[in-house]
Structure 1
Amino acid sequence: MLRHLIARFVFLLAAICAPVLATPAMAATDVSTPWTDEDFASLRLISAQTQTGSSDTLRLGLEFELQPEWKIYWRSAGDAGFPPQLDWTGSQNVGDANILWPAPHRFSIFGLETFGYKNHVILPIDVAIPDRTQSVAINLDVDYLVCSDICIPAAATFALDIPANGNPDTSTSGASTVSTHAHEIEKFVSKVPLTGDNLPIQVSNVFATKDGDATQLHLSVDGLSNAGVTVDDILVESPLRIGFGAPVAVNKDGESNNRHFTVPVFGLNADQDLASETVTVTVIAGPLAIEQSRTVANGPTDASAQGEPLGADTMAPATGAGANIWLIGLFALFGGLILNVMPCVLPVLSIKVMSAINARDGEISRVRSGFLASAAGIITSFWLIAAVLIAIKLAGGSIGWGIQFQQPLFLTVMTIILALFALNMWGLFEINGSDNLGTAANDVINQQEKGGRHLSSHFMTGMFATLLATPCSAPFLGTAVGFALAGSSFDIIWIFTLLGVGLATPYLAIALQPRLAHALPKPGRWMSVVKAVLGLALVGTAIWLLSILAVQIGLGGAIAVGVGLVLGAVFVWARKRSQNLRPRFVFTALAVTGFLVALFAPGFSKPPAPSSVSTAATGPLDWQTFAPETIPALIADGKTVFVDVTAEWCVSCQVNKKLVLETAELAEFFANDDIILMQADWTRPDPEIADYLASYGRYGIPFNAVFGPNAPKGVLLSELLSRDAVLDAIKDARSTAGLASN
């Protein structure tokens, strides 16, 4: 029994570490200049690409590490300072360069308002490449101002070469062109204010009033409650040489979707008027920032904009950040709880049921300790997963929820564990030595159980349940995991801890009220039938994992694993039937050999060649090959594109497909000429798909989005689809002409 538990623990550790072992092959390349160090700051130039690709644009990042209390400035510095100035003289194959300015912080001191960045910031830069078939040689001179109690002008010079892609017209050439810095640059790109008119929140009703020498700019921000955000700060820019103060919220009878603000105006001459002037308004609302240009009206265009100020206090910047992490934490807790009833967790229900049944006649203290141990196993496994993901992220590899199911070793180990669990459920799998040794060992275990110390089996059950549950995504889960993996190491640990607590909640509930287990029926012959059925459920899950393994290593390799498991099971059965010591020893050796064949078979298998068509793209729907670079052209042609990122191991994806996407009603709807179905298969590791998901702050699947003339940036759908949600998203994204054609 003890050796059995040790073997399970070793298998689990090997399964957890499998993604790390596979990371070097997927790791990107470092493309950066050396740091230029000053007493107050360090900076360098980094690239998101290892070579030029199919795009005419190269994305760079100017990275600053600032000492405490020092800051640099935004594009509009405010009452003092100036932003970094870039000189590209001497660069080759470099065109226009555009800095993407992340939303800044407001700094207020002695009545002066300035805007900029502190601590760590990357300024993303999009550089045009006149000839993408040629390499890029960058020579960049940076002049910048850094301030604390004093201000110091500084300069730095960088040289960086980006080689040309041998086949720039091919979007996937087998190797990723994404560097180790791409993810960090994209984190700051995500903080760049959204622009345009079709935004989650909108600036409206912009007008100015004058009372003596005091001028106030009035504006409204619409759609706040619908977007689930509150305004943290508002920055106003004007071509006139004037300044704008911090915004003051105006009370509008508790209305939260549309809020009104006044912004003090400074430096306006007596003969100057803001009416008819164009101002740029940047609204920062927690993780959301938008930027819109508006013409100042002569007076209010909406009488409801009048109101009384909430108070003399100005709005504190970045107040949404703290609330945001607590909200995401709540999402993680609910996501873990809901994961208990998701389809991919149902196969491990047998473990939970048998644990409760076996506890029926146990003492209350033992029931409590057993379920607490299972809960500890769940939470510990989430910590181990978090640690592995942090290690992969620090190494520059791709990370995501459930990506261990892309690793053949993990799938093989989990299949073997399921087979052993099934054999144990049927009463066939038990390792004993001689009768005396077995009796002595059982006596020791019984003594430990009486003392409440033999909890390893319960602990391992919790760990195993968690690992098998990871291919599922659930409502709230995707949002929480995306936040964690896009954030710091602390964010990953914090969110994954709450996910574990959520998944362990049923165990904790029984631990708090152990008599719930005693409400179960008394043990009897019916338990043998239950064990047989639940053993078959575990075998069914093992067969499902073998089907996924066939995609990874080929059908021959998966058959070899299955044959090894069958032989091992047959010899375990033969060992159980034998009464003599020598045959039992031989059958034990043969059973171990069978399981070892299953374990090592993937290493001798040749993976199938990548297919241009998704292996998951089967059924009544006409899926096209995943090509995200073609979506803008399709939208320009009036098409609506439905994107589905799926995988054979993603049970939630299969449920969405069977219960929603492939239903007769939606299949008929998808047959419209203006709808394009595009599917990506993430069953096997694919850097392009991982990068695509990361660009939307997602690190797990299912992922579904709709793009169209009215939604060029996409409408993201929930992890669990519904007919109405899909139809509404397509309706919102389609052009008027497309709707009229139905």
Structure 2
Amino acid sequence: MLSFSARHTDSFVERTWRRLTESLVIVVALAWAAVAAAAPVHTPHVEAELLAERTALVPGEPLTVALRLRMAPGWHVYWQNPGDSGVPTTIAWDLPAGIAAGPIQWPAPRALPAGPLINYGYEGEVLHLVELAVPASLAAVGTQTLRARVDWLVCKEACIPESVELGLTLPAAASAEANPASATTIAATRRALPRALAGWQASAAGQGTSITLRLAPPTGAGDPGTLRFFPFAERQIEASAPQTLARAGNTYLLTLPVASDLAGPLPRLNGVLTASGTLGEAVTAATLDLPLAGHVVPGARPDLATTTPVGPHPSPAAAALTLWLAALSALAGGLLLNLMPCVFPVLSIKVLGFATHDDRPSTLHKEAFAYATGVVLTFVALGLALFALRAAGEQLGWGFQLQSPVVVTALAALFFVLALNLSGVFEFGQFAPASLIGLSARRRSLDAFAAGVLAVVVASPCTAPFMGAALGFALAGSAWVTLLVFAALGIGMALPYVLLACFPGWRQHLPRPGAWLGRFKQLLAYPLYATVIWLVWVLGAQTDNDSVVRLLLALLGIGFALWAWRILREGGTRLWAAAIAVALLGVALVAWPLLTGSHEVRVNTPKGTGTAATSDSEWEAFTPTRLAELSGAGRTVFVDFTAAWCVTCQVNKRLVLNDGEIRSAFAHKQVALLRADWTRRDPAITQALTALGRSGVPVYVLYRPGREPLLLPEVLQRQTVLAALAPL
């Protein structure tokens, strides 16, 4: 009896102990699972958290962690290629020593219409998987905290950039179990990730503005249904243009439109192919990496009939512009360009040449034609070069050359030499051999052609009214459109000189030659000196004070060398030749860092922007994200697209935008002020200008909640700005 009782007691103790042990294991496992799933973080439109596939970090074994984003109904975030607009989600990891994070493993995206645009992204809920490499040297004791800063752009009618700090604490142990809270979801996400297309025969061939993707399924394959291709990189396939699917026998032909802003050569076609049916056993998305046969060129820009609040809106005025209206605007802009301070002195000298030459009409006609040819051909060459660079993927616009300190330095030296010539310090004929001077006198058409080229070169820092919309239209069209509009700009600039040459009666109103002519020529030097001062200021805005001093010393050396050359030609000793050589050597040594671009360039960008900072306290630096954020909050936003090298921009700023009444009106209407400084090249600003149908500055835009953006004239007036603000 006692023996039975003892055995019974021992059995009861064993069972009780076993149950307690099992319960303890379950409690520990649940605790680890709770640790492996930190509490989610909530923003106004997204719920975010980090999930671990297993309950612990095991030394030497990789661990998959998922970023889970759950969006509010109707809102979406973006894929690695966001499509027509948007910003992909990014993760910046802060991990314990030795642990390294791999790239985001992106699920297949969906095509998300946004007005006339197509974006690539996710609605509802998405998991972004990241594999962590855990070192074998990690101690299997204690806990480790994984931290990450996650940034995304979430959009509906408006776009809101959001950022959160996430953390996940996991124990380090010799072994780990599957996390009951997330392992199944992570495994399902992993199975659905796009893999290399298996069993199909695929090839891609470029055919100008389109690419044909040939897909031959394996025998017995099911119907793939609707196919869509998502390129990994932006600016390869036009997102908002349709992709057409056809069938030739057992082969599917998917035609892809080439992007209108194609980013350089396209040797391979890389991306994700999705199917509404099947691409294989339970496969609806697969990756493609194919060599591209044939050749491609930028495609046509889609006809966007409506606008979207995501990012800068296309300009209604630009959308309504026709080819012939753009050409007429360019013609008018070219005419007004002659009145700009850069061009007026050069044109005046040519026009006053009528007063000093009593030539036959045929001679004047030939000279006028040569001058016009020089102007038009130089404008066309500049326009086609700009078009070609943009087609190759460069984000450029009118005035792009002035975004380079090298070009600014060279132009400052050229204007300074021209000003010294007008001031009488030297004559260009003193540098040329007698035979060349005689040829120039006999072939005045060559001089006129060179003067036309020079006029366009000195006009490059200037922008006249009517030019902005016309040039934006030209660069958004084909090469022939660009050629026509830039030719019209050149014709407009050459027209005053040609008309004076062709109509002798008009020349009777010109003053007769006399002593005044020499004084007037010297007077014309001063606008050029003023242009030199302005270019020196532009260089300082682009670089630093050291560059300004270098340029001033170089100009001083050039001025001395030209003055000394005149003395030498008038009978000076050889010492003057030595002085000239020393001066030019000094100029070369001082200016070399500026002309080679090796001098350090100032990068004056506020946090989170790609634009130069503004010193005005009321203004913020422009970024598309900041514009979207302010617009999404219901604010009216005024954007000043400007540059230090833009004369019109600076005049508008000082006479209108800095006016006390204008500043008070902005403040009273609670208008947010953004300044897009294009002094140096900035792709984000270039893209924003392109979206507005512009390719240069100045551009002034008033973004009003729920209404079309309002483009103001390039030459601002106080009353124009006040009238635009009055209805707010």
What's the TM-score, normalizing by structure 1?
Answer: 0.58
Partner of 1:403: 400
Could you tell me whether the CA contact under 8 Å between 2:405 and 2:543 is conserved in 1? yes
Specify which of 301, 325, 328 is matched with residue 327 of structure 1. 325
What does 1:230-309 align with in structure 2 at a 5 Å threshold?
none
Could you tell me whether the CA contact under 8 Å between 1:402 and 1:700 is conserved in 2? yes
Partner of 2:71: none
Partner of 1:644: 640
1:641 positional shift: 1.2
Could you tell me whether the CA contact under 8 Å between 1:138 and 1:159 is conserved in 2? no
Counterpart-to-counterpart distance in 2, 1:388 and 1:562:
31
1:599 positional shift: 4.9
Residues 1:333 and 1:355: Cα distance change in structure 2 (over 3 Å): closer
Deviations 1:271-323 (A, max 9, x none): xxxxxxxxxxxxxxx957xxxxxxxxxxxxxxxxxxxxxxxxxxxxxxxxxx9
In structure 2, give the amino acid aligned to 1:330.
L
What does 1:661-676 align with in structure 2 at a 5 Å threshold?
661-672=657-668, 674-676=670-672
What does 1:510-659 align with in structure 2 at a 5 Å threshold?
510-578=500-568, 579-597=571-589, 599-602=591-594, 603=596, 604-612=598-606, 617-618=614-615, 622-659=618-655
Specify which of 301, 311, 326 is matched with residue 187 of structure 1. 301
1:334 positional shift: 2.0
1:441 positional shift: 4.5
Pick which of 139-148 and 488-497 moved more: 139-148
Residues 1:490 and 1:134: Cα distance change in structure 2 (over 3 Å): farther
1:642 positional shift: 0.9
Partner of 2:715: 720
Partner of 1:97: 111
What does 1:147-158 align with in structure 2 at a 5 Å threshold?
154-156=252-254
Partner of 1:352: 347
Specify which of 408, 416, 419 is matched with residue 419 of structure 1. 416
In structure 2, give the amino acid aligned to 1:331.
S
Deviations 1:418-463 (A, max 9, x none): 12212222333346789xx9555444443x1xxxx23233222222
Counterpart-to-counterpart distance in 1, 2:319 and 2:437:
57
Partner of 1:371: 368
What does 1:124-273 align with in structure 2 at a 5 Å threshold?
124-128=118-122, 130=126, 142-143=226-227, 154-156=252-254, 160=271, 187-188=301-302, 191-194=304-307
Could you tell me whether the CA contact under 8 Å between 2:604 and 2:613 is conserved in 1? no
1:383 positional shift: 1.2
Could you tell me whether the CA contact under 8 Å between 1:339 and 1:473 is conserved in 2? yes
Counterpart-to-counterpart distance in 2, 1:125 and 1:184:
20
SS in 2 for 1:471: coil
Counterpart-to-counterpart distance in 1, 2:406 and 2:435:
36
Q: Does 1:677 align with 2:699?
A: no
Partner of 2:425: 428
In structure 2, give the amino acid aligned to 1:97.
A
Pick which of 420-429 and 573-582 moved more: 573-582
Residues 1:161 and 1:563: Cα distance change in structure 2 (over 3 Å): farther
Pick which of 634-643 and 513-522 moved more: 513-522
Give the fraction of aligned pairs with identical amino acids, expressed as a percent. Answer: 29
Partner of 1:489: 479
Counterpart-to-counterpart distance in 2, 1:471 and 1:562:
19
Could you tell me whether the CA contact under 8 Å between 1:59 and 1:126 is conserved in 2? yes
1:417 positional shift: 1.2
Could you tell me whether the CA contact under 8 Å between 2:624 and 2:684 is conserved in 1? no
In the alignment, structure 1 segments of 5+ residues that lack a partner are 1-53, 63-90, 103-122, 163-182, 201-226, 229-285, 289-322, 735-742
Residues 1:432 and 1:726: Cα distance change in structure 2 (over 3 Å): closer
Counterpart-to-counterpart distance in 2, 1:329 and 1:56:
39
1:411 positional shift: 1.3
SS in 2 for 1:346: coil
1:549 positional shift: 1.4
In structure 1, give the amino acid aligned to 2:643.
A
Deviations 1:575-615 (A, max 9, x none): 32342352343244345435534652313421113232976
Residues 1:680 and 1:133: Cα distance change in structure 2 (over 3 Å): farther
What does 1:380-399 align with in structure 2 at a 5 Å threshold?
380-399=377-396
Counterpart-to-counterpart distance in 2, 1:441 and 1:476:
41
Counterpart-to-counterpart distance in 2, 1:590 and 1:569:
13
Partner of 1:504: 494
Counterpart-to-counterpart distance in 2, 1:723 and 1:133:
55
Partner of 1:458: 448
Counterpart-to-counterpart distance in 1, 2:389 and 2:129:
32
1:134 positional shift: 6.4
Counterpart-to-counterpart distance in 1, 2:521 and 2:335:
26
1:679 positional shift: 0.7
Counterpart-to-counterpart distance in 2, 1:382 and 1:482:
15
Counterpart-to-counterpart distance in 1, 2:298 and 2:306:
17
SS in 2 for 1:645: strand
1:671 positional shift: 2.2
Specify which of 455, 467, 474 is matched with residue 477 of structure 1. 467
SS in 1 for 2:514: coil
Could you tell me whether the CA contact under 8 Å between 1:646 and 1:653 is conserved in 2? yes
SS in 2 for 1:387: helix
